[in-house]
Amino acid sequence: MNDTLLFGLNALKGVKQFGEDHALVPANAVATAAFTGVSNSITLIEALDASRLNGSSTSRGASEEKQLLRKLLRSQVSDLSRISKTLDKAVYPDVASQLKLGPSGSYAALITLAKNAVAVVTPIKQVFIDRGAPATVIEDLQASIDALQAAIDRRLGGRGKRIGSNADLRFALRAGREHVAVLDGIMSIALKNSPGLLAEWKAAKRIQRRHPAEVTEQPAPVTPPAGS
């Protein structure tokens, strides 16, 4: 959660705490509904932030995984390309060119290249096995293709979830602040003869712009000893 959302959420919590600590007398239905709205906004913001964090973690984890899978898949295709160069060109004239491994490209390009390798090698896989490829060469290659595609999909899904949650968070915070605005109008009148409570209210609804860790106590002045 960024600072704007964090500070806004803390302000909503301050307003909620004020409402729990001080009941309006006489009871005010509009204020009660507004306090309920603030509480609901807090609950929603915290749930959305958990969703955002999940999306962010999913995206980050999938991004790391797909990099590892990319290296694995490229290595598998590279092995097949190396073997293809040893084949009798009179018998297999196009195989080496079909399995030629160019410079590193996009993930999509690598997946396309690997799928093409599956199509080229499958009919003659025994030839590759006889030259050192594993007996499960096709199955291994397809498994790597599927795993890389799944990691790409998870990253996109996590990123979309994070972006969507961020948008919902901003909307939920605005809704909460609208409830605070209603309360502020009520409190300004209801507490005008209670300056202490009014000051407490104003402090509760204020959005702090500093992290608690940044607020440090000032050291007490040192009184010089007598006669110095």
User: In the prediction, which pLDDT does 130 show?
Assistant: 94
User: In the prediction, which pLDDT does 226 show?
Assistant: 54
SS3 letters for the chain? Answer: CCHHHHHHHHHHHHHHHHHHHCCCCCCCHHHHHHHHHHHHHHHHHHHHHHHHHHHHHHHHHHHHHHHHHHHHHHHHHHHHHHHHCCCCCCCCCCHHHHCCCCCCCCHHHHHHHHHHHHHHHHHHHHHHHHCCCCCCHHHHHHHHHHHHHHHHHHHHHHHHHHHHHHHHHHHHHHHHHHHHHHHHHHHHHHCCCCHHHHHHHHHHHCCCCCCHHHCCCCCCCCCCCCCC
Peptide bond preceding 212 in cis form (omega within 30 of 0): no
User: In the prediction, which pLDDT does 74 show?
Assistant: 93
**Cα distance from N-terminal residue to C-terminal residue, the chain:** 53
User: In the prediction, which pLDDT does 90 show?
Assistant: 93
User: In the prediction, which pLDDT does 91 show?
Assistant: 93
User: In the prediction, which pLDDT does 215 show?
Assistant: 45
User: In the prediction, which pLDDT does 217 show?
Assistant: 47
User: In the prediction, which pLDDT does 166 show?
Assistant: 86
Distance CA 57, CA 166 (A): 14
User: In the prediction, which pLDDT does 52 show?
Assistant: 85
Give the pLDDT means over successive 10-residue stretches in the chain (228 positions): 83 90 75 91 90 84 89 94 93 92 83 94 94 94 94 87 87 93 91 90 81 49 51
